[in-house]
Amino acid sequence: LGVFTYDPGYGTTASCESKITYIDGDEGVLLYRGYPIEQLAEKSDFIEVCYLLMYGELPTSAQLDKFRVGVTRHTMVHEQIRRFFDGFRRDAHPMAIMCGVVGALAAFYHDNLDINDEHQREIAAFRLIAKVPTIAAMAYKYALGQPFVYPRNDLSYAANFLHMLNAVPAESYNVSPVLERAMDRILVLHADHEQNASTSTVRLAGSTGANPFACIAAGIAALWGPAHGGANEAVLKMLGEIGTPENIPDFIEKVKDKNSNVKLMGFGHRVYKNFDPRAKIMKETCHEVLGELGIKDEPLLDMAMEMERIALTDDYFVSRKLYPNVDFYSGIILKAMGIPTSMFTVIFAVARTVGWVSQWKEMIEDPSQRIGRPRQIYTGAASRDYRPVDAR
| Four-CA torsion 202, 206, 208, 209, nearest 10 degrees | 160
Comparing CB distances to ligand CMC, the nearer of 19 and 320 is: 320
Check residue 248 for interaction with ligand CMC (CB under 6 A).
no
What is the closest distance, in whole angstroms, from the C-beta atom of residue 61 to ligand CMC in the complex?
33
Q: Which x/- pattern over 203-242 shows residues binding ligand CMC (rule: CB under 6 A)?
A: ------------------------xxx-x-----------
The CA-CA-CA angle for residues 378, 5, 273, to 5°, reads 120
Question: Which amino acid belongs to residue 386?
Answer: Y
The CA-CA-CA angle for residues 226, 228, 230, to 5°, reads 45
Comparing CB distances to ligand CMC, the nearer of 68 and 185 is: 185
Q: Which of these, 80, 94, 41, lies nearest to 348 by C-alpha position? A: 94
* Residues from 337 through 366 that contact ligand CMC (CB under 6 A): none
**In Å, what is the CA distance from 121 to each residue of 54, 112, 118, 194, 361?**
11, 12, 5, 20, 7
* Residues from 157 through 196 that contact ligand CMC (CB under 6 A): 196
What is the sign of the dihedral through the CA atoms of 292, 295, 299 and 302? positive
Check residue 260 for interaction with ligand CMC (CB under 6 A).
no
Asked whether 75 and 153 are in contact (CB, 8 A), the reply is yes
Question: Which amino acid belongs to residue 210?
Answer: A
Catalytic residue among 327, 366, 385, 390: 327
Q: Which of 131, 141, 269, 283 binds ligand CMC (CB under 6 A)?
A: 269
| Interface segment toward ligand CMC; rule CB under 6 A; list 50-58, 136-144, 262-270, 293-301 | 262-270
Comparing CB distances to ligand CMC, the nearer of 14 and 391 is: 14
Taking the C-alpha atoms of residue 356 and residue 57, their distance in angstroms, rounded to an integer, is: 17
What is the closest distance, in whole angstroms, from the C-beta atom of residue 205 to ligand CMC in the complex?
18
Comparing CB distances to ligand CMC, the nearer of 9 and 388 is: 9
Comparing CB distances to ligand CMC, the nearer of 217 and 279 is: 279
Residues in the chain: 392
Q: Which x/- pattern over 304-333 shows residues binding ligand CMC (rule: CB under 6 A)?
A: ----------------x-x--xxx------
314 is catalytic: no
Catalytic residue among 74, 93, 163, 269: 269
327 is catalytic: yes
Residues of this chain that bind ligand CMC (CB under 6 A): 9, 196, 227-229, 231, 255, 263-270, 320, 322, 325-327
Residues labelled catalytic: 269, 327
